[in-house]
Structure 1
């Protein structure tokens, strides 16, 4: 059965959609810069004690932060300039990021369950309470927030895509007419 994804007009029920997305993107960019600076600082402080594996992990995290920064830059540019193409790129990136995050969190939780079966029964409750339940809670919260954000981006993308389309409703026949308006510079030059 097919379900419609809702079209939202407001971000967090108070901001207009585009301004809410811009606010969200700017806050995310600031947090990305803080994470990037903390990772560089961690490498600077811990470099004498770091192993090859930790260098690989830190460089992968820094690469992901940079990629995330670039895609959120696409969102900021597309929201300011009303560029539908960049908004679509960011929309697809958000969906891929949500899928990859869920796969990563499932892998993390799976590894803890494998660890539980290898330890004694008295430590199982401690591991569940300290590692697995917070990871499951964080995964659920992350999924809900990211899914809401994807719906917001999709709503803005559809608004931008349909901005040049005007609809007329005839009450006499209850028919809907759609007119697509496009501006061509060549026709304006020929008229002048």
Structure 2
């Protein structure tokens, strides 16, 4: 019999902050970073346009691709913040799927960057006298890429935990409302309740 392992669920963000507030704070931090990236890209577009597009066409295409990704990430960051404030399970599920897709892009992008760095290092190794700095630079970029992937996985697990918590709260509220909606007896007057009970028993005997 195969063992089924479920993904871990977290009650708090970073083990100290309430889960929903931590996710909202992360959404605002990510939104600020996206806006800074867009501001930087705007300056780069201005610089590239000023010095001509023929010479820097490859760089222009690269910056356009990064700008599109930044716009999408900004839009979904806003959706994520709204979902956290409104406790919307539907919007959180949208953010959950988007973060999984974004994780895939991160893995592919970081793998491609690491591959190009190693390829450059292999070609230039014989021409370099001091290899220590270039090796440290590649190790630092690899550590940064790995940390971004693990942070993204952690955020995905936090979003999943928040969705699970909200779904459980919704089920508990529905169960409570269902039980409360079917009272056995509403006691307004003790004599009235007794008379109704006796009248019901007599009616049941007559029906039999």
2:87 aligned partner: 82
Name the CA distance, whole Å, in 2 between partners of 1:34 and 1:136: 23
Match of 1:113 among 110, 118, 126: 118
Indicate which of 149, 169, 180 corresponds to 1:143: 149
3-state SS in 1 of match to 2:123 = coil
Tell me the CA shift for residue 91 of structure 1: 0.5
Q: Out of 129, 145, 167, which is 2:136 matched to?
A: 129
Between 1:118-127 and 1:107-116, the stretch displaced more is 118-127
* Structure 1 CA distance for aligned equivalents of residues 19 and 171 of structure 2: 19
Q: Quote the Cα distance in structure 2 between the aligned partners of 1:158 and 1:57.
A: 39
Q: Which residue of 2 aligns with 1:26?
A: 28
Q: TM-score, normalised by structure 2?
A: 0.74
Q: 2:164 aligns to what?
A: 158
| SS of corresponding position for 1:4 | coil
Q: Once the two structures are superposed, what CA deviation does each residue of 1:105-151 show, in whole Å capped at 9, x if it has no partner?
A: 11111122222332343635543222x21221111211221111111
Q: Which moved more, 1:71-80 or 1:118-127?
A: 118-127
Distance 1:61 1:2, change over 3 A: same
Where do residues 42-57 of structure 1 align in structure 2 (5 Å cutoff)? 42-49=44-51, 50=53, 51-57=56-62
Q: Does the aligned pair in 2 maintain the 1:165–1:181 contact within 8 Å?
A: no
Q: How far did residue 101 of structure 1 move?
A: 0.6
Once residues 85 and 153 of structure 2 are traced to their aligned partners in structure 1, the CA distance between those partners, rounded to angstroms, is 23
Distance 1:135 1:58 in 2: 20
| Bigger strand share | 1
- In angstroms, what is the RMSD of aligned CA positions? 2.3
Match of 2:195 in 1: none
**Based on CA coordinates, which of the two structures has the bigger radius of gyration?**
2
Are 1:84 and 1:161, in contact at CA under 8 Å, matched by a contact in 2? yes
Aligned to 1:38: 40
**Structure 2 portions without partners, runs of 5+:** 179-208
